[in-house]
Amino acid sequence: MVIACDIKEVLVFPLTKIAADMSRRLTFVTYSILLCQIVCFADEPLATVNRDPSRFAMIDTLVNEGVSKGDMAGAVVVVASKEDVLYAAAFGQRQIEPVPELMTLDTVFDLASLTKPIATATSTMILVDQGLLDVTKPVQTYLPEFGANGKDKVTVEQLLVHTSGLIPDNALSDYKSGIDESWKNICALDLKSEPGASFAYSDVNFIVLGKLIEKLSGEPVDKFAAKNIFAKLGMDETTFNPNASLQARAATTEKVDGVWLKGQVHDPRAALLDGVAGHAGLFSTAKDLVKLGQTMLSKGKHNDVQIFTEEVFAEMTRPRTVPRGSRTLGWDHRSPYSANRGDHLSESAFGHGGFTGTVLWIDPEKDLVFIFLSNRLHPDGMGNVNILAGKIASIVTQ
């Protein structure tokens, strides 16, 4: 697309100069919306087959309104089926400060809690498929030190569905003395409720699962997931601690200690764990997430590669009733965190969101993958996208 690339070169530099003279965010966003459809497809990484343009006509309006209101600086929205990408568009900016950058379809996003199902839960189920793990057993079966202070009855399944009784987040200071001490501090925690008695969405649950993966496989979760998921599916832009090339086209989140986070993990606990944790730290692109979504629509199979058996896929995605809703193993189903689900997904759908403004829902019954990736925290940490993502999900699944 030589013409598009030429247009991009012509437009970006004047916009940078204009933005430097503007004092308010919304003024610049107005310019970005007008140019979105011209510029954002210059580096098109997704080939779309849109057989029904009217089905997606409202998406552009809703996302542009969200950008103009400051819900997020920019976003990438993709809808796919098992075989095709039906819709793909980029909106707004992946960075406003310190230097404006337009959002593109190949932007790299900090996925935040999407790390939980994509890297950690999927790796956990691969270990199940390999016969190394039984999710119904207590965690202390595999990690004896974890069973201290009344945690001896907590099962792996309860970690996956957030009914373990563990605190959502232990003190940040527990992570400031290194990885080994961080684990000792987690093992020293007591429970806030009896295992299975209540639902409390917990990062600690998935930090423990990351440790479990490391114990059983001999590799930390980033290495295990890279080898057993991302490499097999051709997800070559999905990683913890992205390299300089991926960082260069990453969506910027917030400023921390005077430095804008661009391709560096936003979650403070994951950052203290050297960027690798079971609950957060994964980065990816829309193109790679389409591959994952299509693999899940095919019950764990991508082309000739099977990351786990259909039986394990069925067990992973089977809804479990939990207090205040239902969850699957690592994914949301219907819970207090399902505002980004929309109204028309089927009962077979499973998905998740991330604190940075990321959403992924997969619906095998409707043969649908819905991806909404944004930098809602940039530049002021005040964006909010869950309701918007839910509205868009409703449109594409109605």
Average pLDDT over the chain, rounded to an integer = 90
What phi and psi, each to the nearest 5 degrees, are found at residue 90?
Answer: -120, 145
In a domain, 170, yes or no: yes
Judged against a pLDDT cut of 70, whether residue 256 lies above it is answered with yes
Q: Is residue 37 part of a domain?
A: no
- Proportion of the chain above pLDDT 90, given as a percent: 85
- Residues 339 and 390 placed together within one structural domain of the fold: yes
User: Are 330 and 277 in the same domain?
Assistant: yes
State whether 204 and 240 are in the same domain. Answer: no
Q: Which domain holds residue 139?
A: 117-223
Instruction: Look at residue 204 and tell me if it is in a domain.
Output: yes
- Listed residues 223, 252, 267: the one ending a domain: 223
Would you say residue 233 has pLDDT above 50? Answer: yes
Q: Are residues 239 and 378 in the same domain?
A: yes
Q: For position 48, what pLDDT does the model report?
A: 77
Quote the pLDDT of residue 125. 98
Asked if 135 and 111 sit in the same domain, the reply is: no
Residues 207 and 250 occupy one common structural domain = no
374, part of any domain: yes
Query: Which of 171, 199, 223 is where one domain is finished?
Result: 223
CATH number, residue 187: 1.20.58
243 and 300 in a common domain: yes
Tens of pLDDT, residues 375-393: 999 999 999 999 999 999 9
Give the integer Cα–Cα distance in Å for 295 and 292: 5
13-40 pLDDT per residue, tens: 233 333 333 333 443 444 444 344 333 3
Q: Considering the domain boundaries, does residue 8 fall inside one?
A: no
> What's the pLDDT band for 6 if we cut at 50, 70, 90?
very low
Asked if residue 258 and residue 378 are part of one domain, the reply reads yes
pLDDT attached to residue 5 = 32
Last residue of some domain: 175, 202, 223? 223
Residues 218 and 266 in one domain: no
User: pLDDT, tens digit, for every residue of 299-350?
Assistant: 999 989 999 999 999 999 999 999 999 999 999 999 999 999 999 999 999 9
Q: Which segment of 37-41, 130-134, 152-156, 225-229 scores lowest on mean pLDDT? A: 37-41
pLDDT of 53 reads: 73
Looking at the fold, whether 179 and 239 belong to one and the same domain comes out as no
pTM of the full predicted structure? 0.89
- The total domain count for the chain is 2
Same domain membership, residue 172 and residue 77: no
* Tens digit of each residue's pLDDT (9 = 90 or more) over 306-316: 999 999 999 99
76 and 146 part of one domain: no
Is position 367 within any domain?
A: yes
281 pLDDT higher than 80: yes
Give 96-113 pLDDT, tens digit per residue.
Answer: 999 999 999 999 999 999
CATH code for position 269: 3.40.710.10
> Is 24 inside a domain boundary?
no
Let me know if residue 185 belongs to a domain.
Answer: yes
**pLDDT value at residue 55:** 79
Q: What is the mean pLDDT of residues 144-167?
A: 98
